Amino acid sequence: MSTKAQKSSALDILKKILSNQIFIPISALLILTIVNLIVDPSFFEISLGYSSDGNPVLSGYLMTIIDYGSELAILAIGMTLVTAASGGQDISVGAAIAIAGSVILRVLCGTETSPETIQAPIIVAFLVSVLVAMAFGAFNGVLVAYFRIQPMVATLILFTAGRSIAAWINNNQLPIVNDETFTYFGGFIPGIPIPTPFFIAIACIIVTALVLKFTNLGLYVQSVGINEQSSRLNGLNPKFIKFITFVILGICVAVAGLIKVSRLSTINYSVIAKDIEMDAILAVALGGNVLSGGKFSITSSILGAYVIQFLTTTLYKFEVQSAALSAYKAIVVIILVVISAPVVREKASAIWKKLVNKKAAAKQAG
Amino acid sequence: MRENAVLEMRNICKSFPGVKALQNVDFTLCEGEVHALMGENGAGKSTLIKVLTGVYTKDSGQVYIKGSDKAVNIKSPQDAQKSGISTVYQEITLCPNLTVAENIYIGREKGMLLNWKKRNAEAEKVLSSLGINVKPTQQLASCSIAVQQMVAIARAVDMECKVLILDEPTSSLDESEVAKLFTLMRQLKARGVGIIFVTHFLDQVYEICDKITVLRDGTLVGEYEISELPRVQLVSKMLGKELDDMSDIKGDSTASIDMESAPVFEGEGLVSDQGIKPFDFHIRKGEVNGFTGLLGSGRSECVRTIFGADRILGGKVKMNGKSVKITKPIDAMKNGIAYLSEDRKRDGIVGDLSVRENIILALQVKKGFFKPFTKAQANKFAEEYIKLLDIKTASANTPIKSLSGGNQQKVLIARWLLTHPEYLILDEPTRGIDVGTKIDIQKLVLKLASEGMSVTFISSETDEMLRTCSRLVVMRDGKVVGELSGEDLTQNKIMSTIAGGEE
């Protein structure tokens, strides 16, 4: 009797794990890890080297993942909120990053293209870019929340115009920042061998966790995403809540923009953060969040972001041409998403149940 | 199979995680019979229907349909349709932006080419043979709900269904529309169609049905001829116990009214954008009042105006003698008003959220964005009210959408009671829920009033309002046409006031 009870409780726990949202990105992560272990364990090697100016630097594929996965993770935070509240996605984040990055360079360089010293403190440049990115987020938010335009359509405007606006901000010049400290944000802080974006991402995650803990943002966003009417009759202002998620995404965009321009110390308007919106949306989907809004898990999305970067890096390692990368990615993503689809999972658990029952029956017969 | 039976269900079992929804349920439907399926919420009516229509797959049991000797296996709604089982749900499941004829024939076209002229003519024939007065070319959305429902029935009839399931078809119809629906049902009966009728309205059961099958807690209580089962018996069978004497409920409900101090709520010339005429209204401490009138007379719109749920166009509001401004729900909540909305699914529950989150939602919003409850606090509130209102849920973590209708309603009542309102508005709190819960809610209303809360209680069942309210505001066509209290509170007086005209 007791063993039976134990068994059923073990099954329950298994079920709980399987039905938990975070199971999806974690299993994807496991699969990728195992594949890499089998094919070439050297994937996981990390080596300590020294950069050109003698600072210790860790390198290896894993470092690449936490480096580039971090900007995606930051975007995934905002994208998750937008998705949950509005039931749609913001496809303009790549273009908005170009704008935010351009603003940072404009403030740092002033009107010169390559000044000897920066014209304003980095923090000021960053804050200005946050304000600008929030304003563009607000623009999207107003279209979606108050004019009730489909989020994808509303953000298509900025998606189309964003990179031109970014170029216009600097008169189509490509300013170069000649300040050592500016490279820290997208690279390494002297003496610390782990890429800085990772710390920035952690800071963002902590801030998000605190906000979710000490405010009702999570409850409000989910309520509005699930049932706007009910939320309104419970005293919420659904329009404002949708609007604010776009503004929050704006902040995330500015942070990602800072990392992006810091990596190069300059900008390439047409290439910077290209297609990043798709990866950010994928991170949300891979995190098991419903793309039509409602309940969400930011933890899952963040994990999803790193999984996507893991996938990208793995493909690069297999020397997939960068032009062909998207196709490969698409295949893997299709598999992941199909496996994690509720329909498939239900079927799988039904088959599993049958198997268990058959075994039990066989045992009884024997 | 029983002679002249069109449908037999034997030993149907269905369980969901943690719940045995149906246990060895039998059900037999004969040709040309209207058969009521009765039971409280959670008794298994909907599950049985969903098994029959292929929405759920049964765990075990057999279904036989006239015309085939073997048990049929219904795995999807399409299978059910092919076997001659059609369903008309409470919510219309047709396409509102297509025409009536298109709705009748959609999904059943043979071949690629369509002759719409012919189709319209055929539709016309079907509709007129059933006495449904609507043009085939009319857009469905422009018809009344009743007509839409009848079109759904016409579609079913045209598919030559043998079994027609009507799942709560009357809950959004007014009396004359119900009468029309019943005429239609009698016609179908004469054609030999077996009709399964699910409803909460006892009057309607006794008016139209031939047999009653009662379910309770997922098991079969029995099948009865209508003439052999008086109402009291039916109710007690559904509840599984003798019914409390309903007349017990009404105490002297005027005793608790505080006539001394200023009214809790006093509105003057209130008007919203929903097409009601400006109205005055007040309610005193400890008073229970009601708005009554036919469906669409504006009773819900009135209370929605009080709560600020619609766009407010004008009016002055005083709470406890002090002027306040209420233009949106949060204003009303801050002033101690709570509003349980009429449409539970659309305006009430937040489906994917847990029972706990649904309970604390209103209080949480009232408390403010930067002051979330801790998990322990939220759990304490939830547990307290789950116990207080006897909400049947697996746990406070269960998503509210998986609860039965009556229990969802209790969760919503808990949500508003938790805000400790001075003035509680309940708009159709008892619609679509079982008799037991109905009585619980009525008792609760009177108890709250005796403790000093002011309550507005709206119900489409007049006897329910007569039992609870000490004053009734009567509405007609968006206008307040009378106020009844004391001696005037009788069924007849209400009817004549609603109808208008001099006595």
Q: Higher confidence at residue A177 or residue B492?
A: A177
Domain span including residue A95: 60-319
A244–B contact, CB cutoff 8 A: no
Contact B370 A219 (CB under 8 A): no
Question: Do the domain assignments include residue A105?
Answer: yes
Nearest CA in chain A to B326: A235
Same domain? For B319 and B387 the reply is no
Rounded distance, CA A362 to CA A253, Å?
A: 58
Rounded distance, CA B246 to CA B240, Å?
A: 16
What is the rounded (10 degree) CA torsion for A16, A21, A25, A28?
A: 50
A294–B contact, CB cutoff 8 A: yes
A219–B contact, CB cutoff 8 A: yes
State the smallest CA–CA distance between residue B183 and chain A in angstroms. 36
Q: β-strands B288-292, B454-458: how paired? A: parallel
**C-alpha closest to that of B153 among B203, B189, B118, B121:** B189
Query: In this predicted model, what pLDDT tens digit does every residue of B128-143 receive, in sequence order?
Result: 888 888 888 888 888 8
State the smallest CA–CA distance between residue A236 and chain B in angstroms. 7
The chain-wide mean pLDDT, for chain B, equals: 85
**Is the pLDDT score of B41 beyond 70?**
no
The upper half-sphere exposure of residue A190, i.e. CA atoms within 13 Å in the direction of its Cβ, equals: 6
Question: Do the domain assignments include residue A11?
Answer: no
Q: What are phi and psi of A261, to 5 degrees?
A: -75, -25
B330–A contact, CB cutoff 8 A: yes
Is the separation of the CB atoms in B276 and B457 below 8 Å?
A: no
Question: Do the domain assignments include residue A246?
Answer: yes
State the smallest CA–CA distance between residue B329 and chain A in angstroms. 5
Q: Which residues of B touch A233 (CB under 8 A)?
A: 307, 309, 329, 339, 341, 347-348
Q: Which residues of B touch A235 (CB under 8 A)?
A: 328-330, 333, 362, 365-366
What is the per-residue DSSP string for B290-321? Answer: EEE-STTSSHHHHHHHHHT-S-EEEEEEEETT
Lowest mean pLDDT among A14-18, A121-125, B10-14, B371-375: A14-18
Q: Which of B239, B257, B281 delimits the end of a domain?
A: B239
B487–A contact, CB cutoff 8 A: no
B84–A contact, CB cutoff 8 A: no
| Interface probe with A: pick from B326, B337, B352, B374, most Cβ of A within 10 Å | B352
B365–A contact, CB cutoff 8 A: yes
Reported as a pLDDT band with limits 50, 70 and 90, residue B113 is low
Rounded distance, CA A109 to CA A117, Å?
A: 8
The SS3 of residue A296 is coil
Same domain? For B114 and B192 the reply is yes
State the smallest CA–CA distance between residue A223 and chain B in angstroms. 6
Q: What is the CA radius of gyration of chain A?
A: 23
CA distances in angstroms from B200 to A76, B40, B214, listed in the order given: 48, 9, 12
Residue A294: how many other CB atoms lie within 10 Å: 22
Output the domain CATH number for residue A247: 1.10.3470
Query: In this predicted model, what pLDDT tens digit does every residue of B383-442 receive, in sequence order?
Result: 999 999 888 888 999 999 888 888 899 999 999 999 999 999 999 888 777 777 888 888
Output the domain CATH number for residue B83: 3.40.50.300
**Is the pLDDT score of B158 beyond 60?**
yes
Reported as a pLDDT band with limits 50, 70 and 90, residue B246 is very low
Rounded distance, CA B87 to CA B52, Å?
A: 10
Contact A236 B365 (CB under 8 A): yes
Q: Which of B212, B239, B266 delimits the end of a domain?
A: B239
Report how many Cβ contacts below 8 Å link chain A to chain B.
72
Question: Do the domain assignments include residue A2?
Answer: no
Q: How many helices (H) and strands (E) does chain A have?
A: 14, 2
Contact A223 B353 (CB under 8 A): yes
Residue in B328, B348, B368 nearest the CB of A230: B348
Look at residue A2 in the predicted model and tell me its pLDDT: 45
Residue range B321-341: mean pLDDT, rounded: 93
| Interface probe with B: pick from A210, A224, A233, most Cβ of B within 10 Å | A233
Domain span including residue B200: 5-239
Same domain? For B137 and B284 the reply is no
Contact B369 A216 (CB under 8 A): yes
The upper half-sphere exposure of residue A302, i.e. CA atoms within 13 Å in the direction of its Cβ, equals: 17
Q: Which residues of B touch A231 (CB under 8 A)?
A: 350
Both tokens assigned to A95: 């273009």
What is the per-residue DSSP string for A90-132? Answer: -TTHHHHHHHHHHHHHHHHHTT-SS-SS-SS-HHHHHHHHHHH
Question: Do the domain assignments include residue A262?
Answer: yes
Query: In this predicted model, what pLDDT tens digit does every residue of B272-315 receive, in sequence order?
Result: 988 788 999 999 998 999 998 776 678 888 999 999 999 999 89
How many separate domains does chain B show?
Answer: 3
Is the separation of the CB atoms in A140 and A154 below 8 Å?
A: yes
Look at residue A125 in the predicted model and tell me its pLDDT: 96
Same domain? For B34 and B120 the reply is yes
A296–B contact, CB cutoff 8 A: no
State the smallest CA–CA distance between residue A366 and chain B in angstroms. 25
Same domain? For B193 and B110 the reply is yes
Rounded distance, CA A42 to CA A30, Å?
A: 17
State the smallest CA–CA distance between residue A210 and chain B in angstroms. 11
Look at residue B245 in the predicted model and tell me its pLDDT: 46
A215–B contact, CB cutoff 8 A: yes
Same domain? For B90 and B169 the reply is yes
Residue A168: how many other CB atoms lie within 10 Å: 13
Rounded distance, CA A362 to CA B15, Å?
A: 23
**Is the pLDDT score of B147 beyond 70?**
yes
Rounded distance, CA A216 to CA A237, Å?
A: 13
Q: Which residues of B touch A232 (CB under 8 A)?
A: 309, 329
Residue A49 one-letter amino acid: G
Same domain? For B198 and B322 the reply is no
**Is the pLDDT score of B453 beyond 80?**
yes
Q: Which residues of B touch A227 (CB under 8 A)?
A: 346, 349-351
Percentage above 90 pLDDT, chain B: 34
Q: Identify the top-confidence range among B44-48, B147-151, B294-298, B383-387.
A: B383-387
ipTM score of complex: 0.84
Same domain? For B76 and B191 the reply is yes
Q: Which of B239, B255, B274 delimits the end of a domain?
A: B239
Look at residue A196 in the predicted model and tell me its pLDDT: 95
DSSP code of residue B162: S
Q: How many helices (H) and strands (E) does chain B have?
A: 16, 19
Rounded distance, CA B390 to CA B40, Å?
A: 15
Rounded distance, CA B239 to CA B434, Å?
A: 9
Residues of chain A with pLDDT under 50: 1-5
Same domain? For B84 and B141 the reply is yes
Same domain? For B164 and B277 the reply is no
Question: Do the domain assignments include residue A337?
Answer: no
State the smallest CA–CA distance between residue B1 and chain A in angstroms. 32
How many separate domains does chain A show?
Answer: 1
Question: Do the domain assignments include residue A54?
Answer: no
Reported as a pLDDT band with limits 50, 70 and 90, residue B247 is very low
Same domain? For B293 and B379 the reply is no
Is the separation of the CB atoms in B363 and A219 below 8 Å?
A: no
Contact B372 A236 (CB under 8 A): no
Q: Higher confidence at residue B256 or residue B59?
A: B59
Residue in B349, B366, B368 nearest the CB of A230: B349
**Is the pLDDT score of B12 beyond 50?**
yes
User: Does pTM top 0.80 for this prediction?
Assistant: no
Question: Do the domain assignments include residue A9?
Answer: no
The SS3 of residue A315 is helix
